């Protein structure tokens, strides 16, 4: 393998020719490693560069490959299926073709979209509306005298995000399920280009509202790695504190929503009330219920004062959460709807890229807080719950256990906090780059940030957990039944904004 290697912000970057990629990915998979994402960017106005991120094992350092194609690139989807969506996204946004792709149809651009140039092309007319003519989307052909076809959405009942789900079913039995997402694709990655770093943090906070802190944290850490910036110890611990508060309110919302789908209305109300209690704590601590306007590259905008009141508040709240989750786990009408619903086999979870509580519910002992410590997690003991049944009940149990783990982590943080500054100078060099990550409430989140001559972003790539888990989810719907669909979807804890970006 003729590879040119470089070290940038602690990340090994290896140059590969397009024809070397299939063998390289196969070698990673054989060794127990996993690819994480792929993306493209314009290294120069005339040269597109592909990047592939992976790791050789759950606790091994990440590696990055770069490839500068001159023509079609071999598709890697048959070797590492989770790369399939990334390749389709690159085709839609950059115009690069992947030879031999098993699903060679658009992902982000809906059928009927006719962009005058690839949307990420430097020549794309930004102010010109995208030409669009409604056209039927790609869908499998499912035939049979009794097969019914049900398109559901994109406008759905309740306050939910836009998506269209196509069901092929007989009676209550779902034969095939085909989701069409990206109705609200906002081009968030392109919006970062040319922004100041402070403006870019605000954008990151708005990629997915329920993951505001995790997104901003991953972005800031990418910039800090590009600048070789050392965040002060107090700021690192306070970042972990806020990240766990975000995890708490997300998991409580999840439990309330899941209870709603099993018609456990008291359980729904209690979960939402407890979620609200955590958001009120967030507001008192930071001034923002969603933990916004706090992070900056280099640390925090301002210091926080969590002692001694926060520990007392969370002790009381923890006891109430314990009573609530014990009731969920002892309500037979609720459990009967979860157990054996939406089983995700371990092999499918690995191949398709499941992440977060979804992958930990089917046997994968992986968590970035422990395996690739960031913020203050390197000083903490992170307990990672793992189950193997892979059903909706396991996904609930993982989140309940993670609530307990988050409360314990916050206790550790409060016991370790000492005085000191909460920010440091962070001045990246022109044309530098960095990779940042966080274990968000829904799973692994990556930001790859490339800076230009003025040290402003020229390319920001976001690998969000819902992009991964939406790819996995349909494989648990096929051969299930209509009555369990809403429960199964809720058990994954998916967001469409996090996927569509």
Do the Cβ atoms of 420 and 409 come closer than 8 Å? no
Beta strands in 9-123 (DSSP E): 11-15, 34-44, 47-55, 62-67, 73-74, 98-99
Whether residues 437 and 329 fall in one domain: yes
Q: Scanning the structure block, which residue is given the tokens 């804890």? A: 493
Whether residues 445 and 340 fall in one domain: yes
Q: What are phi and psi of 99, to 5 degrees?
A: -70, 135
The series of mean pLDDT values per 10 residues for the chain, 501 residues long, is: 45 90 95 94 93 88 93 94 96 94 91 89 84 81 86 78 89 92 88 95 95 98 96 98 98 97 96 98 97 97 94 96 98 97 95 96 96 96 97 98 98 96 96 96 97 96 95 94 94 91 81
- What span, in angstroms and rounded, lies between the C-alpha atoms of 485 and 375? 38
Q: Which pLDDT score, from 0 to 100, does residue 10 have? A: 54
Whether residues 295 and 169 fall in one domain: no
Q: Which pLDDT score, from 0 to 100, does residue 5 have? A: 45
Nearest one of 100, 118, 101 to 109, comparing CA atoms: 118
Whether residues 153 and 242 fall in one domain: no
Q: Which pLDDT score, from 0 to 100, does residue 425 have? A: 95
The verdict on residue 140 lying in a domain is no
Do the Cβ atoms of 180 and 163 come closer than 8 Å? yes
Q: Which pLDDT score, from 0 to 100, does residue 3 have? A: 43
Whether residues 169 and 225 fall in one domain: no
> Maximum Cα–Cα distance for the chain, whole Å?
72
- What span, in angstroms and rounded, lies between the C-alpha atoms of 432 and 455? 8
Whether residues 168 and 208 fall in one domain: no
| Contacts with 278 (C-beta within 8 Å, 6 or more apart), sequence order | 245, 248, 249, 252, 317
Count of structural domains within the chain: 3
Domain boundary among 64, 99, 134: 99
Whether residues 483 and 397 fall in one domain: yes
List the domain range (segments joined by +) for residue 257. Answer: 188-500
For residue 319, what is the enclosing H or E element? helix 309-328
DSSP state of 19: G
Q: What CATH number is given to the structural domain containing 427? A: 1.10.645.10
The verdict on residue 107 lying in a domain is no
Grouping H, G, I as helix, E, B as strand and the rest as coil, residue 368 is helix
Whether residues 318 and 457 fall in one domain: yes
The verdict on residue 110 lying in a domain is no
The verdict on residue 87 lying in a domain is yes
The verdict on residue 164 lying in a domain is yes
- What span, in angstroms and rounded, lies between the C-alpha atoms of 286 and 292? 8
- What span, in angstroms and rounded, lies between the C-alpha atoms of 114 and 362? 41
pTM for the whole structure: 0.95
For residue 240, what is the enclosing H or E element? helix 233-261
Q: Which pLDDT score, from 0 to 100, does residue 136 have? A: 78
The verdict on residue 104 lying in a domain is no
Whether residues 314 and 206 fall in one domain: yes
The verdict on residue 83 lying in a domain is yes
| Contacts with 432 (C-beta within 8 Å, 6 or more apart), sequence order | 8, 9, 226, 227, 451, 455
Whether residues 165 and 50 fall in one domain: no
Per the structure block, which two tokens stand in for 336? Answer: 């009967």
The verdict on residue 213 lying in a domain is yes
Whether residues 236 and 285 fall in one domain: yes
Q: Which pLDDT score, from 0 to 100, does residue 420 have? A: 96
DSSP 335-358: HHHHTTSS---HHHHHHHT--THH
Residue 438 burial (CB < 10 Å; 0-12/13-18/19+)? Answer: buried
- What span, in angstroms and rounded, lies between the C-alpha atoms of 431 and 453? 6
For residue 280, what is the enclosing H or E element? helix 265-286
How far lies 152's CA from each of 156, 338, 342, in Å?
Answer: 7, 23, 19
Q: Which pLDDT score, from 0 to 100, does residue 156 have? A: 73
Whether residues 156 and 204 fall in one domain: no
Q: What are phi and psi of 287, to 5 degrees?
A: 90, 0
Nearest one of 376, 382, 388, 428 to 404, comparing CA atoms: 382
Do the Cβ atoms of 206 and 189 come closer than 8 Å? no
Q: What are phi and psi of 241, to 5 degrees?
A: -60, -50
Do the Cβ atoms of 501 and 186 come closer than 8 Å? yes
Q: Which pLDDT score, from 0 to 100, does residue 468 have? A: 94
Q: Which pLDDT score, from 0 to 100, does residue 137 have? A: 74
Q: What CATH number is given to the structural domain containing 43? A: 3.30.460.80
């Amino acid at each position: 393998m003729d590879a040119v290697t470089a070290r940038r912000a602690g990340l090994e970057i290896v140059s590969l020719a397009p024809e070397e990629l299939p063998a390289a990915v196969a070698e990673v998979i054989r060794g127990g490693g996993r690819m994480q994402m792929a993306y493209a960017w314009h290294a120069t106005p005339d040269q597109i560069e592909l990047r592939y991120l992976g790791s050789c094992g759950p606790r091994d350092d990440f590696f990055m490959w770069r490839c500068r194609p001159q023509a079609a690139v071999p598709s890697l989807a048959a070797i590492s299926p989770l790369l399939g969506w990334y390749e389709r996204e690159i085709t839609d946004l950059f115009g690069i073709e992947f030879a031999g792709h098993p699903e060679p149809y658009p992902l982000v651009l809906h059928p009927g979209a006719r962009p005058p140039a690839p949307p990420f092309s430097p020549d794309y007319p930004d102010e010109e509306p995208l030409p669009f003519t409604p056209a039927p989307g790609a869908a499998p052909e499912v035939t049979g005298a009794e097969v019914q076809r049900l398109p559901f959405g994109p406008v759905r009942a309740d306050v939910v995000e836009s998506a269209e789900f196509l069901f092929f079913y007989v009676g209550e039995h779902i034969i095939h399920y085909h989701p069409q997402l990206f109705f609200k694709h906002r081009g968030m990655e392109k919006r970062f280009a040319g922004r100041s770093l402070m403006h870019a943090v605000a954008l990151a906070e708005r990629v997915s509202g329920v993951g505001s802190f995790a997104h901003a944290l991953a972005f800031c850490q990418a910039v800090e790695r590009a600048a070789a910036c050392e965040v002060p110890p107090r700021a690192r611990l306070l970042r972990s504190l806020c990240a766990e508060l975000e995890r708490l309110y997300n998991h409580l919302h999840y439990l309330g929503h899941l209870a709603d789908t099993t018609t456990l209305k008291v359980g729904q109300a209690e979960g939402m009330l407890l979620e609200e209690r955590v958001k009120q704590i967030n507001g008192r601590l930071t001034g923002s219920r969603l933990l916004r306007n706090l992070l900056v590259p280099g640390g925090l905008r301002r210091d926080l004062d969590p002692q001694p009141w926060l520990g007392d508040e969370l002790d009381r709240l923890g006891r109430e959460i314990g009573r609530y989750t014990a009731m969920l786990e002892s309500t037979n009408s609720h459990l009967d709807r979860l157990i054996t619903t939406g089983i995700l086999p371990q092999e499918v979870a690995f191949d398709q890229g499941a992440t977060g509580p979804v992958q930990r519910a089917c046997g994968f002992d992986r968590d970035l807080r422990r395996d690739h410590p960031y913020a203050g997690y390197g000083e903490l003991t992170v307990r990672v719950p793992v189950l193997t049944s892979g059903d909706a009940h396991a996904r609930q149990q993982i989140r309940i256990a993670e609530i307990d783990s988050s409360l314990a982590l916050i206790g550790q943080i409060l016991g370790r906090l000492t005085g000191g500054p909460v920010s440091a100078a962070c001045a990246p060099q022109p044309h530098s780059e960095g990779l940042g990550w966080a274990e968000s409430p829904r799973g692994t989140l990556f930001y790859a940030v490339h800076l230009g001559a003025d040290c402003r972003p020229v390319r920001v790539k976001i690998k969000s957990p819902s992009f991964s888990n939406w790819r996995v989810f349909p494989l648990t719907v096929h051969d299930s039944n209509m009555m369990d669909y809403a429960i199964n979807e809720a058990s994954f804890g998916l967001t469409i904004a996090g996927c569509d970006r």
